[in-house]
Structures are given as C-alpha cells and as structure tokens.
C-alpha cells in the first residue's frame, strides 16, 4: 500500500469514526444513517465508475468493475429514497447489507488463509464483527435508539479496522 493510499484510508477511517459518533449522539439517527449509507454507496459507485473509465476497461475483468459501479450507484440512489417508508424495511435493508458484507469478509479471510496471507485474521474479525452487529440489530429491532447506537458502533468499528489495516506494514515482493 502506497503512502497516498495509507493517508486516504486513515482519513476515511477518521471520517467514519466521527460520523459514527455523531450518529450515536443523535436521539433519532434514522434519517442520518440512511443519508450516510446512501451517500457512501453513491460515492463508491462514482469512484468505481471513474476507475473503470480510466483504467479497468482495458483490463481483463473490467466489465465486472463496471457492473459493480452501476450496482453501487443504483443501491445508493435507492438508499437515499428510503426516508419515507416504514423503519422496519430500512432496518431489514441495513441488516442485509451488514450481513452480506460480513459474509464477504469471512470468505475473503478464508481465501487469504489458503494463500497463507498474514492479514486473514483481521479480515475475519471484521466479517465476524459485521455479522454480530447485524445479529444484535435483529435481536433489538423494537428499540430504534438502540439499533441506531448499534449502527453507529458498526461505523466506528469499521473506521477503526480501516485505520489499523492502513497502519500495518505490508510486504513488498521483488521479482529478480
């Protein structure tokens, strides 16, 4: 990981922690959670689309990046329109996102362990943390304030993991 990427990951982690704290301090963080999630997905979709237009269209598997960008833009736009529907649907939507992200991180950690990568433990912890947060949200689905706090804790947790991963030293492989 280069210095610019490390610094940007640290800054993004700090922004995530601040957003989680702001969300946790609000009494009714429902609308703020939807806006944060929607804007994050739209931003990531635009970044992947720009990456596709600049570089990935010339790569093998570049269309997958294009489809991911379109899917993220669509999901982000859909998230931003959810403010007017009942909260249980939004809660289920957030739970599906957290649970699927947790499963993806666990599968990535299994693959990293097969390739004897030392970072598989951190990815596994991140995936298990996401699944635990989704499970706790299902358990406390009646209490909107507690679910907002759990969502805020999940954002803070993801920000901390991002900062820890960016501060970790990476091995450089030289081909001779």
Distance between CA atoms of residues 50 and 54, nearest Å:
6
Whether 84 maps to a domain, the answer reads yes
Whether 61 maps to a domain, the answer reads yes
Whether 64 maps to a domain, the answer reads yes
First vs last C-alpha separation in the chain = 21
Residues with Cβ within 8 Å of 31's Cβ and at least 6 positions away in sequence, in order, are 83
CA 37 → CA 93, 116, 138, distances in Å? Answer: 11, 33, 19
- Given a contact cutoff of 8 angstroms between Cβ atoms, the answer to whether 124 and 106 are in contact is yes
Whether 172 maps to a domain, the answer reads no
- Give the total number of structural domains in the chain: 1
Whether 145 maps to a domain, the answer reads yes
- Given a contact cutoff of 8 angstroms between Cβ atoms, the answer to whether 94 and 137 are in contact is yes
The pTM of the whole model exceeds 0.85: no
Whether 76 maps to a domain, the answer reads yes
Q: Mutual orientation of helices 87-114 and 120-139 as an angle, nearest 10°?
A: 160
> How many CB atoms are located within 10 Å of the residue 34 CB?
20
Q: What is the 3-state secondary structure (H, E, C) of 148-170?
A: HHHHHHHHHHHHHHHHHHHHCCC
Domain housing 128: 3-167
Distance between CA atoms of residues 92 and 88, nearest Å:
6
Whether 175 maps to a domain, the answer reads no
From first to last of its 176 residues, the chain has per-residue pLDDT tens of 678 888 888 998 898 899 888 888 877 666 777 777 788 889 989 999 999 999 888 888 888 989 999 998 998 888 788 766 766 776 777 778 788 888 998 999 999 888 888 778 878 888 888 888 788 777 776 766 777 777 788 788 888 888 988 887 766 666 66
Q: What is the pLDDT of residues 150-175, one digit of tens each?
A: 778 878 888 888 898 888 776 666 66
Whether 173 maps to a domain, the answer reads no
């Amino acid at each position: 990981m280069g210095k610019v990427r490390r610094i940007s990951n640290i800054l993004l982690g700090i922004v995530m922690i601040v957003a989680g704290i702001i969300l946790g301090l609000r009494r009714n963080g429902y609308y703020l959670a939807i806006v944060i999630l929607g804007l994050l997905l739209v931003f990531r979709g635009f970044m992947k689309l720009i990456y596709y237009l600049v570089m990935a269209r010339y790569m093998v598997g570049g269309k997958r990046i294009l489809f991911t960008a379109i899917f993220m833009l669509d999901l982000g736009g859909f998230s931003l329109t959810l403010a007017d529907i009942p909260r249980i649907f939004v809660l289920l939507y957030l739970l599906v996102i957290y649970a699927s992200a947790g499963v993806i991180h666990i599968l990535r950690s299994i693959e990293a362990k097969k390739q004897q990568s030392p970072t598989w433990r951190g990815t596994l912890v991140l995936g298990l943390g996401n699944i635990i947060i989704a499970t706790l949200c299902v358990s406390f689905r009646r209490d909107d304030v507690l679910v907002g706090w759990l969502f805020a804790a999940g954002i803070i947790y993801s920000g901390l993991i991002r900062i820890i991963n960016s501060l970790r030293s990476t091995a450089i492989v030289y081909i001779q």
